[in-house]
Homo-oligomer: A and B are copies of this chain.
Amino acid sequence: MTISRKADYALRAVVILAGSPPDRPMQIQEMAEIGGIPLKFLEQILLMLKRGGLLRSKRGVGGGYHLDKPTRQISVGEIISLIDGGLCNLASSGHEAEAEFRGARGLRDSLSEVDEKVNSRLLSLTIEEILNRDEPDAMLAFGI
């Protein structure tokens, strides 16, 4: 019931990117230092995020990564799902033909309900929200 370290790194990377001036791309190395992430491992992760359509990259001098969408359109759930291959799934822990005993349905349904609540929250939790949360002043400034 955790996310992988990889997914955690991915979240950090996106947050770091989102919290930096958008006028120039950021290099892997800089992200690695800021986030405390092993460089070569981060490379893999960024590649996955790129393939998932969240990031865009540029090579050569002055190259690096930047977001491909506004922060309000990137969700935590999206990132976790992309990296770990899915979100919360308590209900069917790798099962096909479920045994049928008294209470089996209740159990399955109850767990599914938790899954749905968690996942819908994770999918609605945006990077924008996370950054705003870090600086409550900004929210006041916008009169929110």
Chain B residue numbers with a CB within 8 Å of A90 are: 2-3
Chain B residue numbers with a CB within 8 Å of A110 are: 76, 125, 129-130, 133
Q: In angstroms, how far is the closest chain B Cβ from the Cβ of A14?
A: 9
Q: Does A46 have its Cβ within 8 Å of any Cβ on chain B?
A: no
Could you say which of A89, A106, A117 has the most chain B C-beta atoms within 10 Å of its C-beta? A106
Chain B residue numbers with a CB within 8 Å of A122 are: 114
Closest chain B residue, CB of each to CB of A86: B1
Q: Which of B1, B11, B18, B102 contacts A134 (CB 8 A)?
A: B102
Q: Mark A73-96, 1 if CB is under 8 A from B, else 0.
A: 000100010001011111001110
19 additional contacts, CB 8 Å, given A106-B134, A107-B130? A1-B1, A1-B84, A1-B86, A2-B93, A5-B94, A11-B107, A12-B99, A15-B101, A15-B104, A34-B101, A35-B99, A76-B110, A102-B134, A106-B131, A110-B129, A110-B133, A114-B118, A117-B118, A118-B118
Q: Does A16 have its Cβ within 8 Å of any Cβ on chain B?
A: yes
Closest chain B residue, CB of each to CB of A132: B106
The residues in A between 43 and 83 inclusive whose CB is less than 8 angstroms from any CB of B are: 76, 80
How distant is the Cα of A88 from the Cα of B111 in the complex, in angstroms?
13
